[in-house]
Amino acid sequence: MSMETFKKKIIKISNPIDMTSLEIYFTLIRYLQVDGVIIPTTKCICAYIYKVTCMEHSNQKSQTMAILILLVTIVSCVLARPSSKNVEPVEITVYYETLCPKCENFFPKQLLPLYTDTDYDFASLISKIELVPYGQVAPLNMSKWLDIWCQHGRSECDGNKLHACAIKYIPDTLTTLNYISCLANETLSKHFEMLEHKYPIDKCQNELPAGIYQKIINCYKSDEGWELFDDNAEKTHQFEKRFFPYVTFNGKRDDDVAKDAVENLKKTFIKVTGIDKDSSF
């Protein structure tokens, strides 16, 4: 149930309306929702309690006591929110291209915000994030690595290779997502220039721990980078994609889920993990 629908239900049963209590109620109830969905286990007959405690008392003392009761109820509801202990962690895999506009948007606007969400600890429900930068690549001759062409140009191949090296050498998930999101913002702002110019391999170094950038560049400039490129090619070809970015949960291919994840990763993640098994009031 959305917050707006919930408000309408509360207002409908509340007559006359004590606006002060009502605003307190709506402010607190926001802590019981994830991405606009009120979690079923936290509803705790709040509508009924609100009507009884706040609407049917007229004197100030009773109103004060009613609000205190309401606060205790809300706290109890908050504590009843589903925890990560009740949900099986999932593995997220993202197949992408470094110069695909939707891919560039996906990291800073969808994946990174999900992983760093402060309202709900989604990161604890993610067992692993695997990133596969490759996409659609066409060899122009039979010489390995000599002449290949990615969907958005040769510079995208360079970007895919740089990302592959970064994913290998950055020691933690959060730093990886910050670095890739930074690069995505950089290329997105100059997208059409990137199609004809070199990938900005020297950008976003401030997102990395000391010494890591040099490891990434050494990898990028050596055969190691192309070997990682080939590894991602194999992963992508084994699990053929129709569009990018393509998101899977626990390795399961589902085109509809993948499309939903690109549009709203948080909402899709909530559904996949089963946090909102029952969204009815």
Would you call 258 helix, strand, or coil by DSSP?
helix
DSSP class of 233: H
pLDDT given for residue 130 in this prediction: 98
| Length, in residues, of the chain | 281
Token pair 């399961």 is found at 252
Closest CA to 105 of 184, 22, 198, 170: 184
Token pair 């060899």 is found at 139
Fill in the amino acid letter for 224: E
Q: Where are the alpha helices (DSSP H) in the chain?
A: 3-13, 19-29, 46-50, 60-79, 101-106, 112-115, 154-169, 173-189, 191-194, 212-220, 223-238, 255-263, 265-273
pLDDT in tens, 154-208: 899 999 999 999 999 999 999 999 999 999 999 988 766 666 678 999 999 999 9
Single pTM value for the model: 0.69
